[in-house]
Chains A and B, each alone.
Chain A
Amino acid sequence: MRIDALRLIAYGPFTDVNLDLSKGREGCHLVYGLNEAGKSSALRALRHMLYGIPERSADNFIHPYAKMRIGATIRNRKGDVFVYIRRKGRGHTLRAIDDASVMEEAELQKLLSGVDVDLFTTMFGMGYDDLVRGGRDIVQGGGDSGQLIFAAGSGIVNLTEIQNDLQLQVDELFRPSGQKPKINAALGRLSRNRRELRDAQLPGQEWVRHDAALQAALNKKKTIEEELIVLRRDLNRLQRIWEALPLIAERRELAGELATYGNAVLLPEEFAEERQELLVKIGIAETGRDRAMKNIAAHQQAIVTLDIDTGLLDVAQQIEEVYRELGSQRKAAKDRLALQTRRNTLLGEAREILRSLREDLTLEQAERLRIKKNEAVKIQELGIQYERIITRIEDAREKLPALSREITDIKKDIGALEAPPAVEGVRAALAQAAEFGPLEKQNRTEQVDIMTVRETIAIEQSRLELGHHNADDLEALEAPSADTVKAFEDRFDVLQRRIDDLGRDIGKTRGHLQQVERQIDAHRLEREVPTEEDLQAAREKRDRGWQIILRRLNEAPVPKDELKAYVSATRGAQNLAEAFEADLLRVDAVSDRLRREADRVATKARLLADQTAAGGQLAQLDEDFVSAETEKKDLSAEWVAVWQPLGIVPRSPKEMGQWTRRFRSLTEKVSEVRVRQTKADALKEDIDAQRLKLVQGLRGSSGPAVAVDESLSGLIKRAQKWVQDADDLSLRRGQLLRDKARREKELDAAQSRLEQNEKERREWQQQWEEAVRSIGLTAKALPAEANAVMDDLRSLFDKLKEAGILEKRIAGIDRDSDAFVRQVDHLMAAVARDLVDRPSDEAALELHTRLNRSREARSKLETLQKQLAQERGRLDQARDDILQVETRLMNKCQQAGCNSADELPEAERRSNRRRQIESDLKKIDTRLHKLSAGATVEDFIEKALALDPDGIAGEIDRLTAAIEDLEIAKSELDQTIGSERTELSKMDGSARAAELAEEFQVILGGLDNDVAHYARLKLASKVLSLAIERYRDKSQGPLLKRASSLFSRITGGSFAGIRAEFAEDGRPVIVGVRSDGGNIVTVEGMSDGTADQLYLALRLAGLETYLNNNEPLPLIVDDILIMFDDDRAAATLQVLAELSHKTQVIFFTHHRHLVELAENTIDAAELVLHTLER
């Protein structure tokens, strides 16, 4: 299969880009594209064109999925052509060239001979990366010959990697002696689980045992508990009594003491405390009283010394106001001085300006100089206008001479140009002749072709032995028709067949005859078969002997001759008896043989009959043969006669059949050449006529000279050039004239503008004179002067205006000062006549000071009066308190039955002691009551005192020990019960074992899947190794031989080739053989580049092997040479070019220098260059 055309209709970056791949034998196509030109897209398109565009294609960035199209024309070796368009989609993506009717994918697949996309990509696609991976894989696999050959035969670049990968996955699943791989780990878990399950399972007997132990312990515990109850009761009673004995003793002592204190008055518990408090209170009240009296005396003294001026206090508000005003007054006085200075400066400056303008005027008269606003504006505008007019005038004055100069230059150029010749005649002749120009060359070729055909005709003519005829007459010759020749051929055939049949029959009959004769001879040679005649003859001879003997017996005479003749007739007989005996034996023998060999006798008879029949048949056949030969001779004569008119001695009809066909073709050729000659001649005449016309035209227009033998097309070219030159000349001249006219027009315009401007300037002068008069300038003054005057005026009036404002502010300050003085004078007259002579500001200050002093004195008086009132209140309070406490102390004495407060402490002590005794007695009774366990205290005491106090302690110890022993036993039983219960509770129907069994099944489930997975991988690995071995055994010889030679070429002779060796570990490997000295280089010893080239050599050899046995598919190569030096790249390109004899090679590259290298290296007939553009 090869690709004749790849049409990138709408794909990736391409829109309607065509690659014509039809040229070349199969074609070594070099497709060059810059980076970004879409090389990779084109490569992809090639594959997608054959196998469909994948569902998630990224090549839709210009054309959407629905619009994506790749067209192609492909053709197989048989010449079947398949033209189609591939679109993107889920089905029916093949369409005919109309992009509408659906084509069958299977048809296309037939052309691809069932090679699917994977195989195609792997085997017929080769990129730089593949080369590198392939090279690396070779090194990784240590040059293993099986792998290398398999990889070469399939195009797989990473076979070692794939094999290693399989092994790795196998190892991850299972290793015979591993722990970690998945299956090993699962098996480990499985046996652990089995153990755990065994442990977790509860045997039935165990449950029964634990249950029985529990019941026994429970029963025993019950007995112990009953004993404990009795013991504890006794112990308890004794302990109570033991505890009560000291209490009983104490109770008796207290009862005695109570008799002493029985009459003491029981005072309340807080009595003593209250008495103490009253004593303290009296002390405090007395201290307060004394302090108040002292304070009152001191305050009264202070009030007498205070000095307060009420007159000042009455006018306090006015004094405050004056005092506040004092600050403003002082600041205003300072400001006034600064204002005055500033005003004087301004007036001075104004006077200065005025003097520069008009010396005759004072400042007061300056107002006369003020001009109106509109007048000032007018002067400014006129100034601007003046600038504009002056600029324009100067401009125009500069431009005029430059234009005049340019006009002069153009006139000079025009003068220098030649006058153009008239060309119209020639142009017309050219127009007519133009179409004959190309025909002229064609006509010449046609004439040459006709000559060639005529020569061919001449050769064919002499081959047909018609050399004696004129070639032009051949058409008129009447050769026998094909039918006639065919008829003769048939007749000859029939006749010849008959002759042949007869000859064969004769041969056969003669053979038969000879065979019969041979058999007869054989019979004869073997031993003559006796005949009836022989028997007869023998009998006669015997009878003859018998007659002699009879005669002898009868003693009749026997002639001697007769006897002798008889005896001698019998070979070996000496006498009659012997002769007769021999005869007798002979007759018997003949008769025996006759009987015995009857078959042989019959055969011999048949043979003789056959001999006679065959003889007759042979004679008849010979006769027929002669007659047929004669007939053939007659037919030959007739055949020669037919050809007589052509003057030809014919060969066999079959040959002449061929002759007639060639003759017919010859006459057709003659006729064709005649027609072509006529046409060519007519064309030649036309061309000559055109040439003549053109020559005449040129001559008429005094054009260039014409050579006699110049061809029409040459002439046309020259005439066209001449006409072109003339046209150019006219064009140039017209251009210059137009330039001149334009410049002259510009000159006129410039002059008239200048005049206009001069006029404007005069008008301006008049207006100016009027305007500046108002500011005292003459008409001669320039706008700049006028501006200066106006600026001075503006400045003058500004200064005067500011001085006026300052004057007003000074007057205001003076007014405020007068008002202040009046106010102060008024106040002094009212409240401080002593200050009348003092200046106003000092007086205001003094007034304020005096006011403050009076205010302070008044506030102090108020404070003292308040304090005095407070102290008087305190004095009264203290006196009341003392009286009250004394009354309460008297009450206490009465309660305690005392006469004075001094007796109170003793009364308090007695009361306390009585209360203590009563309380202790009550506590003891309460405790005894508790210990009595329900009996009355008196009964209990009685019972306790009845016991022997010295025996109680021993009894208690005994009981305690017994109880302790029982408790220990009980606790032990509790433990037993607890542990048995724990054991039984573990046996509560737990699902632990069941869960372990479930886990066991889960592990099995996982193993089940993993084992299948392992088996698949392991089988895959094994089958692959087997296939590799088988392919190696089958292909190693020729493939290595070819790869060796390719490797030598691709490495530029650096290596002599490769060969199979055994590695140290006995593995068959492939090694390189150096050219110089034949050193062996293992794949590990090769450089990366060389390993890549080794891979390439093997790949190409593998590919060639494939191509020798199968329908070819194009080899798609993607820039594999980028890392090759130029020599190796060139060698590889040649190898690819050679490969292109077997299949189409399409080589994509980004590299310009590879294109050049290819052009220099590969035969132009094989190399087809394409440039990829979007």
Chain B
Amino acid sequence: MFKFIHTADIHLDSPLHKLDRYEGAPVDEFRQATRRAFENLVQLALAEKVAFVLIAGDLFDGDWKDYNTGLFFVAQMARLRDAGIRVFIVAGNHDAANKISKTLRLPDNVITFPTENPATFRLQEINVAVHGQSFASPVVKKDLSIGYPKADSGFFNIGLLHSCLTGREGHEPYAPCSPEGLRNKGYDYWALGHVHQKERVLGEPPIVFSGNLQGRHARETGPKGCMLVSVEDSPRVDIEFKPTDVVRWLATDVKVAGSESGYDIVDLFGRRLIELLDDNEGLPMAVRVRIEGETHACDEVLADLERWSNEIRSSALEIGSGRVWVEKVNFKLTPPSSIKRLKHAEGAIDELLKLFNELAAEPESRLRLATELSDLEKKLPRELKEGVDAIRFHDPDWLGEMLDQVRPMLIRRLLKKGTTE
């Protein structure tokens, strides 16, 4: 009987994305998350006395150049060496792009698979054969698994492979292959990397993505960690997911239909947050909040988004006892249908409302407004203009979303006399 750990997509020293710091945000808890998650992994390997650790690619971030990251990795590997634990690595697309790995001197317990052809390493004392091949370049479009040898009879065969399998959303289609192709090799376990969401493909033998060790942004939500595999009576295996993340990313929707005031909304958020805290064992959390629904508080909140975002944050501070970082608050509120305007009158304010309606209906008119923002646009770093949550000054939809928020804010500023008592 022996145990091993299957992990992948460690992306050491890759930072957590776009966390806006505010007074009371749990800054210290969020420091060096990927390193600490990796330390957790090593600790787990030592505690479970595993025979070996498999790393299925993407140890480092492709464009990360700091050799210190490599040295940190070496130090951790040395801990495993001292405990007699072997480590098998295939390089992934990020590793192929990375310069650190080229010069790094690894301890002798770490075995990196070659890039030219698949290779096999055998652990005679426990009858295990590990087959693998590293990425030679950052882009590998051919099916690497085809070249993997047939299973060694009398051994527990493991395939270590960095691959998108048949393709997974949000991930580059590298080293594509099919579950059937993998099964035909007759191995006992396929340890896959590249896809950040953990997954076990249906059927036998197990074809497993361990997912990444630590979520790094608002789209890598939920528990992250590695697979602890116990081989009791070969080829029967027991696969257990072990979280290693030190910070957890979550996205939550708060339904606020029927609420009467901004403070009601903050209360509803608070209740939701208590549930999240219970579900996540007190781990520090980065939460993206989406407040949604038909409410009387719509105007009140949209009139001052900054203020209500801050109210949400301070509620999180209070309830989360300093362990919750509210990454972003998105408000999708609509006024209750009963109080929508019955009729449009012919006044100055109505001219403004008409203008807003026109802007809502005509994408070209919205685009004309984008020139107002061109001064800023020139100075924005590219990191803000790329990706799913990018700022898109020239996208009519993005402008429309902004205008939906501008409208109540402006009306409230103009007509705030009525709210004084």
Query: CA of A1110 to CA of B412 in the docked complex: distance in angstroms?
Result: 23
- Please indicate the chain A residues that have their CB under 8 angstroms from the CB of B121 in the complex: none
Q: Does chain A have a CB within 8 A of B188?
A: no
Q: Are B342 and A208 in contact (CB under 8 A)?
A: no
Which segment, of B49-57, B231-239, B268-276, B349-357, faces chain A?
Answer: B349-357
Is A174 in the interface zone, CB < 8 Å from B?
yes
Q: How far is the CA of A159 from the CA of B72 in the complex (A)?
A: 60
A1027-B352 Cα distance, complex, nearest whole Å: 5
Q: Decide: A1016 and B372 in contact? CB cutoff 8 A.
A: no
Chain A positions 974 through 996: 1 when the CB is less than 8 Å from some CB of chain B, otherwise 0: 00000000000001111111110
Say whether A1102 contacts B348, CB under 8 Å. yes
> Closest residue to B104 on the A side, CB-wise?
A204
Counting CB contacts under 8 A, is B290 at the interface? no
CB neighbours of A123 from chain B (8 A): 347, 349
A122 to B418, CA, bound (A): 7
Q: Which residue of A lies closest to B302 (CB)?
A: A1016
Interface residues of B in 348-372 (CB under 8 A from A): 348-349, 351-352, 355-356, 359, 369, 372
Residues of A within 8 Å of B69, CB to CB, are 989, 993-994
With A989-B68, A993-B68 given, name 5 new contacts (CB 8 A).
A207-B71, A1015-B376, A1015-B391, A1023-B369, A1027-B355
Contact of A204 among B70, B344, B402 (CB under 8 A): B70
A1005–B20 CB distance below 8 A: yes
Say if the beta carbon of A117 comes within 8 Å of chain B. Answer: yes
Knowing A121-B418, A993-B66, say if A1007 contacts B384 (CB, 8 Å). Answer: yes
- Chain A residues with Cβ below 8 Å from B328 are 1008-1009
Residues of B within 8 A of A1009 (CB): 20, 309, 328
Contact present for A1022 and B32 (CB under 8 Å): no
CA distance A1016 to B405 in the complex (A): 7
A166 and B412 CA atoms in complex are apart in Å by 13
Q: Is B346 within 8 A of A1106, CB to CB? A: yes
> A109 to B339, Cβ gap below 8 A?
yes
Contact A998 B15 (CB under 8 A): yes
Cross-chain contact A122 with B417 (CB below 8 angstroms): yes
Residues on the A chain within 8 Å of B99, using CB: 204
| A139–chain B nearest beta-carbon distance, Å | 20
CA gap between A123 and B342 in the complex, in Å: 18
B262 to chain A, nearest CB (A): 12
Cβ distance B112 to chain A, nearest Cβ, rounded Å: 16
Residues in A whose Cβ lies below 8 Å from that of B415: 118-119, 121-122, 156
Decide yes or no: A183 and B376 within 8 Å by CB, A109-B342, A204-B103 being known contacts.
yes
Contact B67 A113 (CB under 8 A): no
| Alpha-carbon separation in the docked complex, A1023 to B410 (Å) | 9
| Complex contact B355–A1004 (CB within 8 A) | no
- The answer to whether B391 touches A1011, judged by C-beta atoms less than 8 angstroms apart, is yes
Q: Is A905 an interface residue (CB 8 A)?
A: no
Which of A90, A159, A988 contacts B260, CB < 8 Å? A90
A114 x B342 contact (CB < 8 A) = yes
- Provide the bound-state CA to CA distance between A1002 and B73, in Å: 25
What CA separation (Å) do A1019 and B370 show in the bound complex? 9
Question: Chain A nearest CB: distance from B410 CB in Å?
Answer: 4
B→A interface (CB under 8 Å): 13-21, 30-32, 34-35, 64-75, 99-100, 102-104, 260-261, 305-306, 309, 327-328, 338-339, 341-349, 351-352, 355-356, 359, 369, 372-373, 375-376, 379-381, 383-384, 389, 391, 393, 399, 402-403, 405-406, 409-419, 421
Most buried by A among B18, B71, B384, B414: B414
> Would you list the 3 A-B pairs with minimal beta carbon distance, nearest first?
A153-B348, A989-B72, A121-B418
Min Cβ gap A1080→B in Å is: 26
A–B pairs, 10, beta carbons within 8 Å? A125-B417, A149-B348, A176-B375, A987-B67, A988-B68, A989-B72, A1006-B21, A1007-B384, A1008-B20, A1019-B402
Cβ of A1026 within 8 Å of any chain B Cβ, yes or no, is yes
- What mask results when residues 150 to 162 of chain A are scored 1 for a CB within 8 Å of chain B, else 0? 1111101101001
CA distance A202 to B65 in the complex (A): 7
Question: Are B416 and A118 closer than 8 Å at their CB atoms?
Answer: yes
Chain B interface, DSSP helix/strand/loop, else mixed:
helix
A1018 to chain B: which residues have CB within 8 Å?
Answer: 372-373
Are B65 and A201 in contact (CB-based, < 8 A)? yes
> Which chain A residues border B409 with CB–CB below 8 Å?
1016, 1020
> Does A860 sit within 8 A of B, measured CB to CB?
no
Query: Complex formed: what's the CA distance from A1106 to B411 in Å?
Result: 19
Pick the residue among A90, A106, A1110 that contacts B338 (CB under 8 A).
A106
Q: Is the CB of B72 within 8 A of A1011?
A: no
Distance of B11 from chain A, by nearest CB (Å): 11
- B309 to chain A minimum Cβ distance, whole angstroms, is 8
> In the complex, what's the smallest C-beta–C-beta distance from B133 to chain A, in angstroms?
24
Q: Is A113 in contact with B342, judged by CB distance below 8 angstroms?
A: yes
Across the interface, which residues of A come within 8 angstroms of B348, CB to CB? 149-154, 156, 1027, 1031, 1035, 1102
Instruction: Determine whether the beta carbon of B345 is less than 8 Å from that of A1109.
Output: yes
**Residue of B64, B393, B417 with highest tally of chain A CB at under 10 A:** B417
| In contact, B411 and A118 (Cβ under 8 angstroms) | yes
Q: Cβ of A106: which chain B residues have Cβ within 8 Å of it?
A: 338
Q: Which of these, B346, B349, B369, B376, contacts A119 with CB under 8 Å?
A: B349
Taking a contact as CB atoms under 8 Å apart, the answer to whether A989 and B384 are in contact is no
Q: Is A302 an interface residue (CB 8 A)?
A: no
Question: Interface SS of chain A: helix, strand, loop or mixed?
Answer: helix
Report which A residues bind B (CB closer than 8 A). 44, 47, 54-55, 58, 90, 105-106, 109-110, 113-123, 125, 130, 149-154, 156-157, 159, 162, 165-166, 174, 176, 183, 187, 190, 200-208, 987-995, 997-998, 1000-1002, 1004-1009, 1011-1016, 1018-1020, 1022-1024, 1026-1027, 1030-1031, 1034-1035, 1102, 1105-1106, 1109-1110
Contact B373 A114 (CB under 8 A): no
B342→A1005 contact, CB < 8 A: no
Q: Is the CB of A1110 within 8 A of B31?
A: no
Smallest CB separation, A1106 vs chain B (Å)? 5
The contact of B18 among A154, A204, A1004, A1102, by CB within 8 Å, is: A1004
Q: Cβ of A1008 and Cβ of B391 under 8 Å apart?
A: yes
**Contact across chains for A1031 and B351 when beta carbons are under 8 A apart:** yes
Q: Which of B14, B345, B351 sits near A113, CB closer than 8 Å?
A: B345
- In the complex, chain B residues whose CB is within 8 Å of the CB of A1035: 348
Question: Bound state CA distance, A54 and B419, in angstroms?
Answer: 10
In angstroms, Cα B374 to Cα A1018, docked, is 11
In the complex, the chain A residue whose C-beta lies closest to that of B349 is A154
In the complex, residue of chain B having the shortest beta-carbon distance to the beta carbon of A200:
B66
B206 to chain A, nearest CB (A): 34
B31, B306, B343, B384: the one within 8 Å of A114 (CB): B343
User: How far apart are B142's CB and chain A's nearest CB, in angstroms?
Assistant: 29
Chain A residues lying within 8 Å of B18, measured Cβ to Cβ, are 1001-1002, 1004-1005, 1008
- A151, A1013, A1016: most-surrounded residue (chain B CB, <10 A): A1016
Asked if residues A993 and B17 are in contact (CB atoms below 8 Å), the reply is no
Q: For residue A1105, which residues in chain B have a CB less than 8 angstroms away from its CB?
A: 346
Q: State whether A207 touches B103 (Cβ < 8 A).
A: yes
B369 adjacent to A1019 (CB under 8 Å): yes
Which residue in A90, A190, A1001, A1110 is a CB contact (below 8 Å) of B15?
A1001
Please judge, given known A-B contacts A208-B103, A994-B32, A998-B31, whether A1020 and B410 are in contact too, CB under 8 Å. yes
A981 to chain B, nearest CB (A): 14
Chain B residues lying within 8 Å of A991, measured Cβ to Cβ, are: 13, 31-32, 35, 68, 72
CA distance A1020 to B414 in the complex (A): 11
A120 touches B393 (CB 8 A): no
By a CB distance below 8 angstroms, the chain A residues around B406 are 1016, 1019-1020, 1023
Give Cα A203 to B104, complex, Å. Answer: 11
Q: Is the CB of B75 within 8 A of A117?
A: no
Q: Is the CB of B347 within 8 A of A153?
A: yes
CB-CB under 8 A from A1016, the residues of chain B are: 305, 402, 405-406, 409
Closest chain B residue to A1027, Cβ basis: B352
Q: Which residue of B lies closest to A994 (CB)?
A: B13
Q: Which residues of B contact A1024 (CB under 8 A)?
A: 352, 410, 414
A750–B78 Cα distance when bound, in Å, is: 133
- Which residues of chain B are within 8 angstroms of A176 by Cβ–Cβ distance? 375-376, 379
